[in-house]
Structure 1
Amino acid sequence: MGVATSGIAESPVAIVIDDDAAVRDALEELLNSVGIDTISFSSGQEVLDATLPDRPSCLVLDVRMPGLSGLDLQNLLASKGIRTPIVFLTGHGDIAMSVEAMKAGAVDFLTKPVRDQTFLDAVSTAIATDVARRAASTASRNSVALYETLTPREREVLKLVVSGAMNKQIASDLGISEITVKLHRSNMMKKMNARSISHLINVWHSFPADIR
């Protein structure tokens, strides 16, 4: 297993899975040359048995390997809720494999030999996708934490506000005065750090289904 370390906790890492040691070494060297750390595995089972780093990352995955195929590993990771973006790199691909991989969420499906820059561009896109996913997940967790500070009444007001209800309708629905609605609404907006109703709506749609 080859590991390059930069000393930066959130530096990106490419996780290379290929049963050919020479291919792993070459990919590691190329990725390290542009500042992307690498971790390598020779099989899909090794990946499943490992604890993957909690950093912006992507998988560089061969299709045909002893044991689990790359497509099998893709499906298993998805079933475990692991959504690390995948770039397939294979010498044995065909259109059907490519379609299956992309439908299952792969960022790219490349066939060997491939230009270094084409490969690096695909990895960069995959890592950027993971950075965005992780940022959205963190923002959602933070918003849920803010939601949990709301009183039951403020939560009711929030749901009605994001549904488009005006203060008068909210007052009628909840059986309270408009002045009380305005007070709850103001407190709710402050607690949620909502800059506007459109911002609040965006936050609302980032919530898990059990809250919405």
Structure 2
Amino acid sequence: MQDKFLIAVVDDDVSMREAVKGLLRSLGYDAVTFGRAEDFLNFDRRGRVDCLIADVQMPGLTGPDLHARLVASGESIRTILITAYPDPVARKRALRAGVKCYLTKPFRDEDLQACIRSALDSDAAFDRRPSREAP
């Protein structure tokens, strides 16, 4: 069993992906990154991911589409969406669909950290952690 939470970052912007990954590791989390939502869906350890941070606008499958697909398949990965193009309607729709947090780029490290804590503090995230098997 892992001691650290595993957080996946899905963003087509490599500099954003790497910056968020570096922040996550500095905060003590394990992090994996993907340039496309489809790559995350093909990740063989997806069931071990405790939290997902995904960009709203990406080529192919978008962050909200990725979240919807995970929900439809019965996967309850806590999701945080990030975007450079704020849209209040999209934000409201995402939060109603179960997204835990919706941040506008650029965001402060502290804001992302607060979103992650909120997502991981939920009972469902903790309830499924002990039952996960190591790879």
User: Which range, TM-score by smaller chain?
Assistant: 0.7 to 0.9
1:93 to 86, 95, 108: 86
Matched, 1:134 2:125: no
- Percent identity among equivalent residues? 31
Larger Rg: 1
- The 2-side partners of 1:38 and 1:117 are apart by 17
User: Deviation string for 1:159-200 (max 9, x for gaps)?
Assistant: xxxxxxxxxxxxxxxxxxxxxxxxxxxxxxxxxxxxxxxxxx
Quote the residue 2:97 is aligned against: 104
Per the normalisation by structure 2, the TM-score is 0.88
Quote the residue 1:75 is aligned against: 68
* Root mean square deviation, CA, Å: 1.9
Report the AA paired with residue 81 of structure 1. Answer: G
Report the AA paired with residue 30 of structure 1. Answer: L
Quote the residue 1:40 is aligned against: 33
Higher strand residue share: 2
Could you tell me which runs of 5 or more consecutive residues in structure 1 were left unpaired when the two chains were aligned.
1-7, 139-212
Contact 1:56/1:127, CA 8 A, preserved across alignment: no
Quote the residue 2:5 is aligned against: 12
Could you tell me which runs of 5 or more consecutive residues in structure 2 were left unpaired when the two chains were aligned.
none
Higher helix residue share: 1
Contact 1:90/1:110, CA 8 A, preserved across alignment: yes
Contact 2:8/2:49, CA 8 A, preserved across alignment: no
For these two proteins, the number of residue pairs brought into alignment is 130
Q: Per-residue deviation at 1:10?
A: 3.6
Quote the residue 1:118 is aligned against: 111
Structure 1: 4+ residue segments shifted above 6 A = none
Q: Per-residue deviation at 1:100?
A: 1.0
- The 2-side partners of 1:97 and 1:107 are apart by 14
Which structure exhibits the higher relative contact order, with contacts defined as CA atoms closer than 8 Å and separated by 6 or more residues? 2
Q: Per-residue deviation at 1:13?
A: 1.3
Equivalent position SS for 2:103: strand
Contact 2:8/2:52, CA 8 A, preserved across alignment: yes
